Amino acid sequence: MTAIEFFSALANGTRLRCLVLLSRHAELCVCELTHALGASQPHISRHLAQLRELAIVTDRREGLWVYYRINPALPSWSRDVLEEAASGTADSSPFAEDEAALTAMANRPGAARCA
């Protein structure tokens, strides 16, 4: 991944919102991201696939669920950018609303059903 590819990935609103949430949480299921962003599963999955192809995120499957996390092998400069973005947007829209929606989500993974 080049710096241009990294910043191009962040230039898309959906991908940036997913990355901000993933920066704040160790790991999130696709269903949590769809709920938090209020977007369809195919829309979120398409953007996560693009982030996975660039190796910005990694995924793991557990039964029917797919979980994503920030790739721990990212260069430190890119991890720093993501951490600063998450910190700097914590109180601004739509990032604060995404976090609130995620926090309020019922039936999060680990429960009997995922929303």
Amino acid letter, 69: R
Q: Which domain holds residue 47?
A: 3-81
Domain assignment present for 18: yes
Domain assignment present for 88: no
Domain assignment present for 86: no
| CATH code of 55's domain | 1.10.10.10
Rounded-to-integer distance, Cα 75 and Cα 41, Å: 29
The string of pLDDT tens digits covering residues 79-92 is 999 999 999 999 99
Rounded-to-integer distance, Cα 30 and Cα 43, Å: 11
Neighbours of 102 (CB within 10 A): 18
Tell me the whole-structure pTM to 2 decimals: 0.91
Domain assignment present for 89: no
| pLDDT exceeds 90 at position 111 | no
| pLDDT exceeds 90 at position 106 | no
Could you check whether the bond before residue 94 is cis, i.e. omega within 30 degrees of 0? yes
pLDDT-derived band at 100, boundaries 50, 70, 90: very high
Distance of CA 11 to the CA centre of its chain: 14
What share of the chain in percent tops pLDDT 90? 86
pLDDT of residue 65: 85
Number of domains in the chain: 1
Domain assignment present for 57: yes
Domain assignment present for 96: no
